[in-house]
Amino acid sequence: MQPGHPDDTARKSAHPDGCGPIHEILSRVGDKWSLLLIRHLGSGTMRFNELKRAIDGISQKMLTTTLRNLERDGFITRTAYPTIPPRVDYALTELGRELLVPVKVFAGWVADNQHRIEAARARYDTEN
């Protein structure tokens, strides 16, 4: 979008620092459960109960809410099958697979730097 475009003006007035859309998406994918779900679904399609078993500590209600939010934002698809018992599969969309790329990079960065973060926290806690 070109500077001065009418949509650009409206967007800047709604988000004076221009970071509103970034903040909104980071809030969604940076919550406690979304990244875990995206990482698990990066391995392929999973059923609801598979996800529940794979993610330690998530309640059924929170799993349902998080999956709905990720579906609403276009990161996952939900496919229901009319079987008894009902079967529901979840999978990443193209957008979700694209998001998986920086998620994996970030997870690697955390793994590589966790000891540095813990050392910095310990120093801070000792000094304060």
Q: What is the 3-state secondary structure (H, E, C) of 25-50?
A: HHHHHCCCCHHHHHHHHCCCCEEHHH
13 has pLDDT over 60: no
Fold of 31-127: Arc Repressor Mutant, subunit A (1.10.10)
Region label for 58, one of left (φ > 0), alpha (ψ between -120 and 50) or beta (otherwise): beta
**How much is the average pLDDT of 109-116?**
95
Query: Which pLDDT score is estimated for 23?
Result: 80
Backbone φ/ψ region at 86: left (φ over 0), alpha (ψ -120 to 50), beta: beta
Mean per-residue pLDDT, 36-53: 95
* Separation CA 66–CA 50 (nearest Å): 15
CA–CA distance, 74 with 125 (Å, rounded to integer) = 41
pTM of the model: 0.75
pLDDT digits (tens, 9 = 90+) for 63-93: 999 999 999 999 999 999 999 988 999 999 9
pLDDT at 11 over 70: no
Least confident of 5-19, 30-44, 73-87: 5-19
The predicted pLDDT at position 123 comes to: 97
